[in-house]
Amino acid sequence: MNGETSIWRGALGLVMTAIIVGGVYFLSMAIELFGEEREPGVIKGAALPSVLVQTRAAEQQAIARGMKVGNDKQILFGDLHVHTTNSTDAFLWSLPIYGGEGAHPLADACDFARHCSAIDFWAITDHAEASTPKRWQDAKQSIRACNAVADGATDPDLVSFVGFEWTQVGQTPDEHYGHKNVIFRDLDDAKISKRPIASGGVTVRALRTQGKDLVPLALPVLDFSNRKDYFDIRRFLQNAADTTLCDLDTPVADLPASCFEVAETPAQLFASLDAQGVDPLVIPHGTTWGFYTPTGTTFDKHLKAENRSERYRLLEIMSGHGNSEEFRDWRSVTAAEDGLTATCPAPRPDYLPMCWQAGEIIRDRCLEAGEDGATCEARAAAARLNAANSSVAAHLTVPGTKIEEWLDAGQCRDCFLPSFGYRPGGSAQYALALSNFDKNGAPTRFKWGFIASSDNHRARAGTGYKPIDRLRQTEAVRVSGQWRPRIFPKGEPAAETYVIDPELLMNLGFAATEMERQASFWTTGGLAAVHAQGRSRDAIFDALERRETYGTSGPRILLWFNTVDGTPMGGTVRTNKGPVFEVKAVGAHKQKPGCPEDTRDLLGAERMQKLCANECFNPSDERLRITRIEIVRIRPQITPDEKVDGLIDDPWMVNECPANGEGCSFSFSDPAFEEGERMATYYARAIQEPTERINADNLRCTYDAEGNCLEVNMCYGDDRTAASDECTRPVEERAWSSPIFVEYRN
């Protein structure tokens, strides 16, 4: 008996011990005792040999001479939009539940830019909304270390810039200003903002205040073998939330570097930068992304005097999130007469509104349930109205919907690699056609140059050199079937739509967006190109400031666009006669498989595999052909009520190029300029022969004779599509010159 009692007492003691240990463990989790702040990593790669840099420059100079280019500027390629796991979304997507491969520190971006993509310059632009004093210091120190690898070189192989992203999202079109990258010329603390400046509102809630809701405490238990990853991101978010807000009553110049600063509007952002005595580039991007941009948003309010439109010298026209160039005259919703609600426009051969498809889904459910036609049509009409007034969360108004049921709703059917949920009122073309007449005298207009970049969230600067490695070179997140129902809950199919309260929408953050369907639209990124007087930091930044830039969809296409009297792309001509323009373009190098022979020695075999997947920028001696050059003409408004639709000529002129593949050039003028007596803006678009592109075949629609998408065979961003399937199709890659602005003067 005593033996049995001892056994029971021993067992009870073990149970109690387990309960106590478990309780202590869960209490420790709850009070955030676990988890570590991650470090920026160590740069491993050596500088590229100067002879390689010089050889590239010499080859380009030879091409320029052959094309009879009238200047000695170099064309350099870079990426001004790169994220590491110091950005909340990047950290989130690196987690095992998203199929992530782990941390992507700053050092990885430096080595990738120098050796995998072999670009000439890049900038770090982690989200300010998740920054802390330590992370900002790490960013500056890591960028300095990246530059130090080539320290002392007359022609540095890589120039790295410090920056941050001001990630603003408004609930309504009037409140929405969108995302801007803020990039500094210098590396000295005195010439850089004391701290990244966050946008406030929805994004701060999503990326800082409520970020831990994205990583519930149960995750370290449910995925115990990877528990450290979840503890680390919760520590990351807690450290951000613990950073003290800056005192609103203290002048910006007197604020300490250690506080968390918020600027709710572009006006406040520029005021803070001015007060600190710094003058960075501020570059809008993602301007057509319906992923987070409220329906009905346009560029118009940016031209208001208080929003300092003159400070925007550049626009990111494309990234791995898609193209933002093209204007279309359709809209996702139509403003109602009362000005308070939106109505749903009918579908067109070139566009299916999300709100309309919501009605179709509800009608089908209604008819399948045996209801009469009148009842089903009434439910469909109500569903359309509800979805039209739910902005980016329209998909949430129809419970239990599979993403396939949305077909290609909300997408631009005839755009080049369009951004998801396209918003034409945010396009580059629409913005260039606008004028603001608030001031007496000359109207206010945008004058910006074009660049492109990657917006990569895996510390991979300059993706797009090859159509390989979809799950690492794009933002596709490989969510497994185990986690998909938790990350993308559907609910049960319902007969009627769900009304989303605006306050709930504000608190949903990422959960309000179509993250699951968006994953099929991410591609590899674009590149920024500059015509620079040399390879130095100042030479590159000077070219960016004077708008002597262009963007490419990824390939290193060579492009020159100027007037015959020497005004370069990005410049302004004041005349009463139409200038003569000339444009020249040469296709990008065809790529060889693998990496250059010396990459293994400079970077190391293990790191070359981890970062580059043994596939680097590896040019052959052969170049792709430019098949045609298109000229786009835009004549900005000259009266407030002039409709934008008729002011954009795309294309206005097309020049077919010779088939010999040795480059393409032509000259042109606009005889109508003098007759029109109004400003005109011109830019060139060089089109390259078709090559394969990752995720270009994303929806795989089956269309009827009228162009309607009947069903999709999606390239999923998760494990429903094989990891080996790059979802490629041939596309005509391109380069967009910065515009030349021709102002009419008598």
Instruction: State residue 17 phi and psi, 5-degree precision.
Output: -60, -45
Amino acid at residue number 229: D
DSSP β-ladder status, 580-586 and 558-563: antiparallel
Neighbour-count burial of 737, counting CB atoms closer than 10 A to its CB (0-12 exposed, 13-18 middle, 19+ buried): buried
Least confident of 43-57, 205-219, 427-441, 567-581: 205-219
pLDDT of residue 270: 97
Instruction: Quickly state the pLDDT bin for 440 (edges 50, 70, 90).
Output: confident
Q: Which residues contact 102 (CB under 8 A, 6 or more apart)?
A: 94, 229
Residue 417: C-alpha distances to residues 352, 590, 692 (Å): 17, 21, 13
Q: Token match 């993706």: residue?
A: 463
Instruction: Quickly state the pLDDT bin for 21 (edges 50, 70, 90).
Output: very low
Q: Which residues contact 585 (CB under 8 A, 6 or more apart)?
A: 557, 558, 559, 560, 626, 629, 657, 663, 664, 665, 684, 686, 735
What Rg do the C-alpha atoms of the chain give, in angstroms?
Answer: 27
3-state secondary structure of 647: helix
Instruction: Quickly state the pLDDT bin for 209 (edges 50, 70, 90).
Output: confident
- Partners of residue 737 on adjacent β-strands: 550
Instruction: Quickly state the pLDDT bin for 10 (edges 50, 70, 90).
Output: low
Is residue 18's pLDDT more than 80? no
Instruction: Tell me what the mean pLDDT of segment 377-406 comes to.
Output: 93
Neighbour-count burial of 437, counting CB atoms closer than 10 A to its CB (0-12 exposed, 13-18 middle, 19+ buried): middle
Is residue 223's pLDDT more than 80? yes
Least confident of 175-189, 210-224, 547-561, 647-661: 210-224
pLDDT of residue 512: 80
693-721 in b/e form (b: 16+ CB < 10 A) is bbbbbbbebeeeeeebbeebebbbbbeeb
Instruction: Tell me what the mean pLDDT of segment 696-708 comes to.
Output: 90
Domain limits, the chain: 73-326+417-477+519-588+624-744, 334-415+490-506
Contact 84, 75 (CB under 8 A): no
The CA distance from 110 to 422, in Å, is: 32
Is residue 459's pLDDT more than 90? yes
pLDDT of residue 555: 98
Instruction: Tell me what the mean pLDDT of segment 376-388 comes to.
Output: 95
Share of the chain above pLDDT 70, in %: 94
3-state secondary structure of 408: coil
Contact 542, 706 (CB under 8 A): no
Instruction: Quickly state the pLDDT bin for 506 (edges 50, 70, 90).
Output: low
The CA distance from 642 to 576, in Å, is: 22
Is residue 5's pLDDT more than 80? no
Q: Which residues contact 47 (CB under 8 A, 6 or more apart)?
A: 114, 149, 150, 153, 156, 157, 158, 602
Terminal CA-CA length for the chain: 114
Contact 401, 491 (CB under 8 A): no
pLDDT of residue 687: 98
Rounded to 5°, the CA angle 550-119-686 comes to 30
For the segment 114-131, what is each residue's pLDDT rounded down to a tens digit?
999 999 999 999 999 999
What is the chain's length? 746
Is residue 616's pLDDT more than 90? yes
- Partners of residue 309 on adjacent β-strands: none
Token pair, residue 1, equals 């008996």
The CA distance from 703 to 719, in Å, is: 26
DSSP β-ladder status, 702-703 and 709-711: antiparallel
The CA distance from 607 to 627, in Å, is: 38
Is residue 606's pLDDT more than 70? yes
Closest CA to 312 of 271, 276, 270, 275: 270
Is residue 31's pLDDT more than 90? no
Give the torsion through C-alpha atoms of 492, 498, 502, 506, to 10 deg. 20
The domain 73-326+417-477+519-588+624-744: what is its CATH number? 3.20.20.140
For the segment 65-78, what is each residue's pLDDT rounded down to a tens digit?
999 998 889 999 99
Instruction: Tell me what the mean pLDDT of segment 175-181 comes to.
Output: 95
Model's pTM, two decimal places?
Answer: 0.94
Instruction: Tell me what the mean pLDDT of segment 314-337 comes to.
Output: 93
CA atoms within 13 A on the CB side of 200: 13
Instruction: Tell me what the mean pLDDT of segment 677-696 comes to.
Output: 96
Residue 275: C-alpha distances to residues 25, 254, 260, 272 (Å): 48, 9, 16, 5
